[in-house]
Structure 1
Amino acid sequence: MQERSVDVAIIGAGTAGLNAMSQARKAGKSFVLINGGEPGTTCARVGCMPSKAMIQVAEDYHRRTHLGRYGIDGHEGLSLDVPEALEHVQEMRDTFVDRVLGSSTDDMPEELFLQDYARFIEPTLIEVGEQRIRAAAVVIAAGSRPLVPEPWQAFGERLLTTDTLFELEDLPSSIAVIGLGTIGLELGQSLHRLGVAVEGFDQLETIAGIRDPEVNRAAIELMGKEFALHLGQAATIEEDGDGLRVQAGEHQARVDAVLCSIGRVPNLDGLGLEQLGVPLDARGLPAFDRHSMQVGELPVFIAGDVTAERPVLHEAGDEGRIAGFNAVQAASGAEPLRFQRRTPLFINFSDPNICAVGARFDALDPETTAIGEIKMAPVGRALIMGRNRGVIRVYAAKRTGRVLGAELIAPRGENLAHLLSWSIQQGMTVEQMLRMPFYHPVIEEALQGALNDLNRKLEVERDGPLTELALLGDGDSGASR
């Protein structure tokens, strides 16, 4: 069997793998990129981009239900051509995939881009098809795939995942969404708004990964007004003629199809990670340092969705760059470096957006943490938009005033979450955030209201300049104007 040597071998050509490759290329190191399965990132092919294209179509069509209040006639006559809408989603998906491939692997020579599956023989020896690659360092960025329990696989095309949903030419009349995390909730709401009869199931009492009980309560109330939510009990599926019957506790629903969104599993099958000689956890993953992405003391680094830690694109990109940089370090005989990670940021593109930033509610110390809150009902801009629904909750350290995190369900929450994440990343206090300008009328005034509420609950010694406007109190923040 042919064997050749490179400085860095990268397993996986998704977001993490491509970012690792850029580090090797920038350093002038020899490398090989290995990819089993379809090329193109999870985000572009089956994740962020096709789902957001579907969400946009659903939101635009759903908007017709509100037009009557503005005196716009004829809105009831609007109709949706579902096959045409799905074709649009697929065209958008293909555009994003083509962009990724066109800027990465399309023009790579065969000796650099191997389209086959990899298997470890030794920590730095990999078998790929009919050849072996001896690398000074290796990056594992093999990605993940939807989790489907083995018994459910027998339901064939009636059991959908994100890998198959965006390939449909038409939508089923009814569907059960099992798993109401980010993916299930986003797609469940979109399918409902596209005219599908939807019922949602989750064995947890929470949705969208929410940990703050007040935000969860608001989210369940709002989402439950669009489609039925059945929480707290595991769902089972069985055949029912040409359809499927889903049951959770006492509730049963007969549907044409099921969208399985109960999670994703790392693509570890066949990789031979046992050959690394390090302990593997129950999922088959080796322990690694999340600041260097190094596996044990080996010249092996792991990155992206395969780590099952933060399965979002910007985190996969960061991990790929860290892993790639340190693979270059290892190939050069240098020690790996540890990097500070960004403030955690999670956004669910449901309507309203559901977001989590920084420290999560269940990790807070109630004795040392203050919580500020504002409900969206009186917020002027949200009221004008007809979207004054939800709640914002912001957390800070009582004694220092430093902002720790937030959870929220709010219109344009994606923008508020970014402001919060940037502020937390900079180590800002509540008072420092309140010193920033807030225009009127904007959704950001709701954040100002939550910060004012939080500021009143702090135990900080006020020794700032007396000329600071924030010290005059909140007055009328404009939230209800």
Structure 2
Amino acid sequence: MTRQVDVAILGAGSAGLYALGQVRKATDSWVLIDGGELGTTCARVGCMPSKVAIQVGEDMHRRNIFDREGIEGGEQLILNQEDAMEHVQDLRDVFVDKVLSTSTDEMSEEEFIEGNARFVEPGVLEVNGERIEAKKVVIATGSTPLVPSAWESFRDRILTTDEFFEQEALPESVAVIGLGVIGLELGQALHRFGVDVTGIDMAGTIGGLEDPVARDVAIEIIGREFPLWLGEKAEVSEAGEGKLKVTAGDNEVEVDRLLVSMGRVPNVRELGLDALGVELNDNGVPVFDPHTMQVGDLPVFIAGDVTGDRPILHEAGDEGRIAGFNAVQETPVAFARKTPLSITFCDPNIVTVGQGWSELDEAAIAVGEVKMGLLGRAIIMGRNRGVLRVYADKRDGRILGATFVAALAEHLGHLLSWAIAQELTVFDLLKLPFYHPTMEEGLQAALYDLKGRFDVEFDHPVELRPLK
């Protein structure tokens, strides 16, 4: 059997669904193909259920300051892990059902095929014994958590995000291997659930932090909650009685489970991408233009986590839109990408925005900094730990990027990303209102510190805009 369509989309995750939204505006001749778990990575095992777990952990952790607020009995509060995980799963199911009810559940068998497609040639696919000829193809097959092959014999005691949110009961002890976004968020949540957590990463940092000041502050704060072993590779072996021994350098611990968060692998192995006849990178992903999402000069586009480039939901959404739009154009259109913004929802938040520390020329930038210890709103909340660092071009004061380690820094990150997108300077930002008392005043203080790094004379207060 052979079927012809204008566009075939491989993958019904966030990127694939956003691509379909664009394709549907131009043609009714399309097919969506997915043979995996439906409901998107974000809703099933990513952004959303992890935030539920984080919220439960934060609510429980809050009891530590009840005494000084005059709230009695905080030490008697008990977190029932099974009930907490049931709550996480209940809300996870709500998020997944919301996705399914507005996407694949509404599609006919002609529109949505449950199966795994494979390229026969650039515009020809095979799925479930059917041959599909598509004028354009969008690859949005997502990614899978990486588990080292050397640890396969321990697989029944290894958790990744694919298994974590299915747990009814939690282990007494866990080694979290990999302290990027996922490892930090879930590791801290587990600690606050009452699990004995050890965090391990062969890098000398956490949360992907490059800024040396922010890195040291984050390690010091989070290291107060549970031990962080950094800069050494983790080795795993049997310890007897069902436990695993984990070593990293001179450190050693026995645990019930591993939470492995060492990155994700693009889902490309079964796609037959060799049939495209284009260059593949080390992960087997075809080389593509990040502004058009086109693979070489083929009628093939790629989007979302499968690229391994920007594994963040809003980026997957943008890539899906670009790929879907270009899949129904005669000539692909190049789109500017949005200001980079990354948020780790640990406590305190870790936020990077704009150009990262490694991308900057230290001789060409000015850095404004403020520590959160004396910020009024942070003191009131009992969360006055952390640092804000803002980078600007020495020549004109234009904001280039920032790194924040602070409570509620997710909001400050958005403000800075918008400012960078508008090419605003530190002087422009100081003309804007900052309400008292808010966490945004911390950003204002960092901007004042940054302003002081410039040798500029003003004939009026820089924070006020004279009438013309």
TM-score normalised to the size of structure 2? 0.98
Alignment RMSD, CA only? 1.2
Supply the distance in 2 between the matched residues of 1:15 and 1:200 (Cα, whole angstroms). Answer: 30
Letter in 2 for 1:356: T
- Determine if the alignment matches structure 1 residue 469 to structure 2 residue 459: no
Supply the distance in 1 between the matched residues of 2:289 and 2:454 (Cα, whole angstroms). Answer: 35
Aligned to 2:49: 50
Secondary structure of the residue that 1:106 maps to in structure 2? helix
Contact (CA 8 Å) 2:427, 2:462: kept in 1 or not?
Answer: no
Q: CA deviation at 1:290?
A: 0.3
Q: CA deviation at 1:157?
A: 2.4
Aligned to 1:345: 341
Aligned to 2:292: 292
After superposition, the Cα gap between the structure-2 partners of 1:353 and 1:268, relative to the gap in structure 1 and judged at 3 Å, is: same
Identity %: 58
Q: CA deviation at 1:150?
A: 1.1
Q: Which runs of 5+ in 1 are unaligned?
A: 473-481
Contact (CA 8 Å) 2:267, 2:306: kept in 1 or not?
Answer: yes
Q: CA deviation at 1:28?
A: 2.4
Contact (CA 8 Å) 1:400, 1:460: kept in 2 or not?
Answer: no
Letter in 2 for 1:422: W
Q: CA deviation at 1:93?
A: 0.4
Letter in 2 for 1:303: A
Supply the distance in 1 between the matched residues of 2:205 and 2:73 (Cα, whole angstroms). Answer: 39
- Determine if the alignment matches structure 1 residue 362 to structure 2 residue 358: yes
Supply the distance in 1 between the matched residues of 2:463 and 2:49 (Cα, whole angstroms). Answer: 45
Contact (CA 8 Å) 1:29, 1:328: kept in 2 or not?
Answer: no
Secondary structure of the residue that 2:119 maps to in structure 1? strand
Aligned to 1:454: 450
Q: CA deviation at 1:467?
A: 6.6
Aligned to 1:479: none
Aligned to 1:75: 74
Supply the distance in 1 between the matched residues of 2:245 and 2:287 (Cα, whole angstroms). Answer: 40
Aligned to 2:257: 257
Secondary structure of the residue that 2:378 maps to in structure 1? helix
Aligned to 2:206: 207
Secondary structure of the residue that 1:200 maps to in structure 2? strand
Contact (CA 8 Å) 2:364, 2:393: kept in 1 or not?
Answer: yes
Aligned to 1:477: none
Secondary structure of the residue that 2:6 maps to in structure 1? strand
Contact (CA 8 Å) 1:398, 1:460: kept in 2 or not?
Answer: no
Letter in 1 for 2:269: D
Supply the distance in 2 between the matched residues of 1:3 and 1:233 (Cα, whole angstroms). Answer: 54
Q: Which runs of 5+ in 2 are unaligned?
A: none
Letter in 2 for 1:378: L
Aligned to 1:28: 27
After superposition, the Cα gap between the structure-2 partners of 1:351 and 1:294, relative to the gap in structure 1 and judged at 3 Å, is: same
Q: CA deviation at 1:27?
A: 1.1
Contact (CA 8 Å) 1:371, 1:395: kept in 2 or not?
Answer: yes
Q: CA deviation at 1:74?
A: 1.1
Supply the distance in 2 between the matched residues of 1:396 and 1:312 (Cα, whole angstroms). Answer: 25
Deviations 1:436-467 (A, max 9, x none): 001111110000000000111125675xx847
Q: CA deviation at 1:77?
A: 1.1
Supply the distance in 1 between the matched residues of 2:394 and 2:342 (Cα, whole angstroms). Answer: 24
Aligned to 2:10: 11
Supply the distance in 1 between the matched residues of 2:454 and 2:306 (Cα, whole angstroms). Answer: 41
Aligned to 2:243: 243
Letter in 2 for 1:389: R
Letter in 1 for 2:285: L
Q: CA deviation at 1:156?
A: 2.7
Contact (CA 8 Å) 1:399, 1:459: kept in 2 or not?
Answer: no
After superposition, the Cα gap between the structure-2 partners of 1:290 and 1:460, relative to the gap in structure 1 and judged at 3 Å, is: farther
After superposition, the Cα gap between the structure-2 partners of 1:79 and 1:467, relative to the gap in structure 1 and judged at 3 Å, is: closer
Supply the distance in 2 between the matched residues of 1:13 and 1:257 (Cα, whole angstroms). Answer: 31
Supply the distance in 1 between the matched residues of 2:92 and 2:463 (Cα, whole angstroms). Answer: 48
Aligned to 2:58: 59
Secondary structure of the residue that 1:175 maps to in structure 2? strand
Matches within 5 A, 1:310-325: 310-325=310-325
Contact (CA 8 Å) 2:181, 2:344: kept in 1 or not?
Answer: yes
Contact (CA 8 Å) 2:12, 2:38: kept in 1 or not?
Answer: yes
Supply the distance in 2 between the matched residues of 1:470 and 1:237 (Cα, whole angstroms). Answer: 60
Secondary structure of the residue that 1:201 maps to in structure 2? strand
Contact (CA 8 Å) 2:392, 2:399: kept in 1 or not?
Answer: yes
Aligned to 1:301: 301
- Determine if the alignment matches structure 1 residue 404 to structure 2 residue 400: yes
Aligned to 1:139: 138
Supply the distance in 2 between the matched residues of 1:130 and 1:120 (Cα, whole angstroms). Answer: 13
Aligned to 2:115: 116
Letter in 1 for 2:190: L
Aligned to 1:386: 382
Aligned to 2:430: 434
Q: CA deviation at 1:382?
A: 0.3
Supply the distance in 2 between the matched residues of 1:461 and 1:99 (Cα, whole angstroms). Answer: 56
Structure 1 moving runs of 4+ over 4 Å = 459-462
Contact (CA 8 Å) 1:401, 1:460: kept in 2 or not?
Answer: no
Secondary structure of the residue that 1:469 maps to in structure 2? coil
Supply the distance in 2 between the matched residues of 1:276 and 1:244 (Cα, whole angstroms). Answer: 44
Aligned to 1:476: none
Matches within 5 A, 1:77-116: 77-116=76-115
Supply the distance in 1 between the matched residues of 2:167 and 2:252 (Cα, whole angstroms). Answer: 26
Aligned to 2:270: 270
Supply the distance in 1 between the matched residues of 2:414 and 2:74 (Cα, whole angstroms). Answer: 34
Letter in 1 for 2:200: F
Q: CA deviation at 1:37?
A: 1.0
